[in-house]
Chains A and B, each alone.
Chain A
């Protein structure tokens, strides 16, 4: 047996031209159980973290919901019953409705509330719009040097049906928007709705007749100037009336005859300012999302 093995070994060594020693093959040891790889550990830890996060999130969500529901229920439980004499409860509402026209000079009391009693709130809303359009400009604006061309969209400019109907519609839309804007203190409407109508008219012009025509009306410079000037005017005007009103000084701005187009003090100019901001915002967002520039 031994000789046969040696024989085979020598023959193999000769054939392979290689010194083969089969006796010295080491025993195969079973591999040590390796520690899990670092990435696996990280994934495990992340899963654990996620579980903790989910539990904390669920707890916080439940807590917030219960707190909010409790606040709302407390408020509702404090309200007068239906039909109860609640004159002492809603003095503010009564004040607005009974003396609003006298103090502010508006016929549409909603405009009086949002632009006179609650004017800071409306200023905040205008700034929210301004911030939104600023963020959209920051994110989507294409500069000449670095910006890539957007993916080619189907150009609907010059579509005969769209352009011929836009030729009839656009003047009507603009007249209606200006009417809503200027009559905000007399009838339902005001800065936000009128501005949205005007912005829609600008969008129709831009999509039906092309950016050459809309670029004649509103450029980036016009956009910046109008938005900033309108917001600044709003800030300055309302600061002035708040300051003088809080100190019991006369503002020097009369209320006029309620029902006239030139009445209600600062409300008409403020409506125009808000409408300009809204129209520019709507149109600016459309342009940014479409082309990335004005």
Chain B
């Protein structure tokens, strides 16, 4: 019984993680502006990887492998926002932040 509960919790985490990756992929394909794209790929880097590693950790139980997986998740949660921040800062200083944002266009489209 406890095996099934563990399996279902793990499967729910895995489905959440994969859904996050799908949203990120769709977003990075459909959004036109760089900031929106970064926002959607950051979902994959944070939520997606966290959910998938949690799923593996729940499935494997307490072991050395799950400790390694948690370390990978912590590393990704630590580094991914930093890289996103640096990219966003460069875009901000290039002056790209204004196009399509706050001009009442909506939808995040910037085809120009």
**Which A residues are closer than 8 A to B by beta carbons?**
154, 156, 159, 161-162, 165, 168-169
Contact = CB atoms under 8 A, between A and B. Distances in A.
Interface in B69-105: 78-79, 82, 85-86, 89-90, 93
A156 B79 CA distance: 16
Interface residues of B, number: 8
Contacts of A159: 86, 89
Contacts of A161: 82, 85
Nearest to B82: A165
B89 A156 contact: yes
Contacts of B78: 165, 168-169
18 contacts: A154-B90, A154-B93, A156-B86, A156-B89, A156-B90, A159-B86, A159-B89, A161-B82, A161-B85, A162-B82, A162-B85, A162-B86, A165-B78, A165-B79, A165-B82, A168-B78, A169-B78, A169-B79
> Nearest 7 pairs between A and B by C-beta?
A165-B82, A161-B85, A154-B93, A161-B82, A162-B82, A154-B90, A162-B86
Contacts, number: 18
Contacts of A154: 90, 93
Interface of B: 78-79, 82, 85-86, 89-90, 93
A270 B78 CA distance: 33
A154 B79 CA distance: 21
A154 B96 CA distance: 15
A156 to B, nearest CB: 6
Nearest to B93: A154
Given A159-B89, A165-B79, 16 more contacts: A154-B90, A154-B93, A156-B86, A156-B89, A156-B90, A159-B86, A161-B82, A161-B85, A162-B82, A162-B85, A162-B86, A165-B78, A165-B82, A168-B78, A169-B78, A169-B79
Contacts of A162: 82, 85-86
B68 to A, nearest CB: 12
A219 B108 CA distance: 46
Nearest to A172: B75
A162 B86 CA distance: 8
A172 to B, nearest CB: 8
Contacts of B89: 156, 159
A169 B79 CA distance: 9
Nearest to A153: B90
A159 B92 CA distance: 14
Contacts of A165: 78-79, 82
A209 to B, nearest CB: 14
A272 to B, nearest CB: 24
A159 B86 CA distance: 9
A12 B15 CA distance: 102
Contacts of B93: 154
Contacts of B90: 154, 156
Contacts of A156: 86, 89-90
